[in-house]
């Protein structure tokens, strides 16, 4: 096995693992299910998997735009949910984190 850089996916072992994940057809379905749940934490995790999966070339063969179009409004709703935001120790930090996720998804959508 070889490595050609310091990045987490700059080696044969990581690429073999991501190939295994690509072959797992259920991954898109799992992300969709996470976005469909009425659970803000699952929504956020699913949204993060879209970005990470695309950057790691796990989802690069899939059309992730429909997932992004579903994720952004979900995150917007979570951001506006004062009750949920109020459960966090720092409402400012959780809002910033949600805004970062939204920006990443919007940026990814523009790239595609």
For residue 1, tell me if it sits in a domain.
no
Among residues 9, 111, 95, 87, which one has the least CA distance to residue 44?
95
Residue 90, burial from CB neighbour count under 10 angstroms (0-12, 13-18, 19+): exposed
For residue 2, tell me if it sits in a domain.
no
- Count of domains observed in the chain: 1
3-state DSSP call for residue 112?
A: coil
- The answer, yes or no, to whether residue 7 has pLDDT greater than 80, is no
For residue 17, tell me if it sits in a domain.
yes
Q: What pLDDT is stored for residue 27 in this prediction?
A: 85
For residue 3, tell me if it sits in a domain.
no
Distance between CA 63 and CA 70 in Å, rounded? 13
For residue 4, tell me if it sits in a domain.
no
Q: What is the pTM of this model?
A: 0.82
The predicted-structure confidence for 60-95, as pLDDT tens digits, reads as follows 788 899 999 999 999 999 999 999 999 999 999 999
Give the range of the structural domain holding residue 57, as residue numbers without chain letter: 12-111
For residue 74, tell me if it sits in a domain.
yes
Distance between CA 71 and CA 79 in Å, rounded? 12
For residue 80, tell me if it sits in a domain.
yes
The predicted-structure confidence for 19-47, as pLDDT tens digits, reads as follows 777 776 688 888 999 999 999 999 999 99
For residue 65, tell me if it sits in a domain.
yes
């Amino acid at each position: 096995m070889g490595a050609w850089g310091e990045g987490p996916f700059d080696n044969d072992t990581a690429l073999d693992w991501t190939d295994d994940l690509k072959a797992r057809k259920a991954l898109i379905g799992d992300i969709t299910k996470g976005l469909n749940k009425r659970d803000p934490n699952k929504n956020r995790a699913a949204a993060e998997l879209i970005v990470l999966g695309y950057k790691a070339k796990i989802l690069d063969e899939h059309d992730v735009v429909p997932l992004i179009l579903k994720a952004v409004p979900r995150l917007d709703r979570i951001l506006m949910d004062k009750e949920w935001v109020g459960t966090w120790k720092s409402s400012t930090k959780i809002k910033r984190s949600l805004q970062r996720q939204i920006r990443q998804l919007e940026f990814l959508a523009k790239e595609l």
